[in-house]
Amino acid sequence: MNTYQAKIGYARASIVEQDLDAQIAALEAAGCGMVRTEQKSGASLEGRPELQTILDFIHQGETLVVTRIDRLARSWRDLQAIVTRLKSKGAHLAATDQPVDTSMATGKAFFDMLGVFAEFETNLRRERQAEGIAAAKQRGVYRGRKPKIDLEAIQAKLIEGCSPTEIAREMGISRGTIYKAKARMPSSSTAVGQKRRGSDHNRNRAAPS
């Protein structure tokens, strides 16, 4: 690890109940003069102000240090984005528990190798998913995703004067869904639907038998 320039530590845990003390101790032992912490999910770079502050103000020659790279991000794309941003400022990334140090050729090579493994795992997972879907289709048990309910279509039918029971039967959905769509309609639209239903009812009563 780079031992000559300033090191800024970053410790992260996903939930409040997780203890950051072990990470902080490891970062301080690695020579970090400053350690920033936050308890946020690593699924996204958004909503993590401490990490953003480090990336905004880190200087050339300095190193962002974590215990493991999954403390920075959960996706390889986000990790690459962080390293690219550090590189643009002449800064580096290092990990205390992994041989990652982008200031050194061997450390950078290990980081790149992690990316190859991550891509391999992603492709393998997709292949397994595709194989599972194909097998389920052969057994006749694959149904795919449930169709998305079209609230606008429901509301249009309500305005036309269709009853919730009629719409539910025609669209294959529950009446509860119809009432939820109705509750989101402007009161004027609801009134139009009720007026049309009333007119249709009166015409049916007046029609000769």
For the segment 125-168, what is each residue's pLDDT rounded down to a tens digit?
A: 777 777 777 777 777 766 666 556 777 888 888 888 888 888 88
Question: pLDDT grade, residue 108 (50/70/90)?
Answer: confident
For residues 9 and 28, the answer to whether their CB atoms sit within 8 Å is: yes
The superfamily CATH assigns to domain 7-105 is Resolvase, N-terminal catalytic domain (3.40.50.1390)
Residue 167 is which amino acid? I
Q: Name the residue among 25, 33, 103 with its Cα closest to residue 11.
A: 25
Residue 174 pLDDT exceeds 80: yes
Indicate the pTM of the whole model: 0.57
Confidence of residue 197 (pLDDT cuts 50, 70, 90): low
Mean pLDDT computed over 28-41: 93
Q: Is 72 helix (H, G, I), strand (E, B) or coil?
A: coil
**Could you read off the pLDDT of 85-106 as tens digits, one per residue?**
999 999 999 999 989 999 999 8
Q: Which residue has the tokens 């990316």?
A: 115
Query: Is residue 18 pLDDT above 70, yes or no?
Result: yes
Q: Is 14 a catalytic residue?
A: yes
Average the pLDDT over 97-126 and give the result. Answer: 79
CA gap 178, 164 in Å, rounded: 6
* Run of H or E residues at 170: helix 164-171
- What pLDDT is attached to residue 77? 85
pLDDT at 3 over 50: no
Bigger pLDDT: 208 or 93? 93
**Catalytic one of 14, 41, 174, 199:** 14
Long-range contacts of 153-158 (CB under 8 A, 24+ apart): 154/178, 154/181, 154/182, 155/181, 155/182, 155/184, 155/185, 155/189, 158/182, 158/185, 158/189, 158/190, 158/193
Closest by Cα among 108, 131, 11 to 68: 11
Instruction: At 192, list the tokens.
Output: 């139009």
Categorize the per-residue pLDDT at 191 as very low, low, confident or very high, splitting at 50, 70 and 90. Answer: low
**CB-based contacts of 37, cutoff 8 Å, min separation 6:** 10, 11, 12, 20, 23, 24, 50
| Reported confidence tier of residue 187, pLDDT bands at 50, 70, 90 | low
> Tens of pLDDT along 44-94?
888 999 999 999 999 999 999 999 988 988 888 888 899 999 999 999 999
More confident residue, 112 or 194: 112
Other residues' Cβ atoms within 10 Å of the Cβ of residue 24: 16
